[in-house]
Structure 1
Amino acid sequence: MEPSPIREAIADAARAVILPEGIGNLTCTGYVPDAISGPHFFCGEYTVDYDKAMGRGLDVVELTCRVLVGRADDRASQRILDSLLAGSGPSSLKTAIEAARGAPGDYALGGLAHDLHVMRMQGYRWYEHNGVDYVGAELMIKIIGEG
């Protein structure tokens, strides 16, 4: 599995979230951007466990993604973040990303991987990104596919 197409496909899937009225759209990138306009989702660290099956048959990727929300109003920002981190619903990143798994029997991410799963949320806290503070969190995504 090549990292760049996987990361871009995850960002494309995340764009499907529907934020509450008046918030605008979630911007998404498959890479760590220099600067962002919140709310923003991006793919960060990428680790690979190679050779989980013989003959380069399977690799397992753990992708760390971040979602950052501007902090003009602390309470409102955290409500937006909470809706993005919900386990289900139209604003749920988990729901949007896991929809890219495809139908049963199909490959995930348009054929780029065998399967994926949003495993957990972690690091709900204040983040500094390019000198600007945001409230945010990380999503850990497990992706499996051919080596």
Structure 2
Amino acid sequence: MWKLFKRKTPRISLIHVLFERGSNIMERKHRGLANVLNKKVARWSTSRIKIAMILFITIYVASIVYLLVDTFSTNTDNIQVDHIYVPKNVSLKDTQNRSLDEENKFIRVRIKEFYLYMDSLKNDTNGKHIYDSIIHYRPGLLDSITYWESLNNQK
């Protein structure tokens, strides 16, 4: 009819072709290495294979347990948060030729304005969709703002 639901043929890009060729080359090399290792292991007895497998699994599990214990046993009280500064190479139209305190005040005002904007989106029926998508793609954004406000209130 009007070809509204025309089936699109997928266009193959050059990057896709290059990655496909690269993966084929790597697969052939892996297969060659696997064949070499299979030939070497073919001469081993079953008890020797079992010992090798038990040794491999023991080392693997021990390394994972070590990493998990090390991860959960680290002290998280030493985390420090530094001041937020605008880099020198970023030029904001309202912050040029200002002192550091004025610049920090400007940043505080911008963050407060953003927080109020997000709050108004949350309370608006039409803006709820935008608010939900922002929270979906940046889940810790509002937590960071409240944490930043609590740090500023401590000063």
TM-score range, shorter chain: under 0.3
RCO higher in structure (CA 8 A, sep ≥6): 1
TM-score where L is the length of structure 2: 0.24
TM-score where L is the length of structure 1: 0.25
Q: Which of the pair has more CA radius of gyration?
A: 2
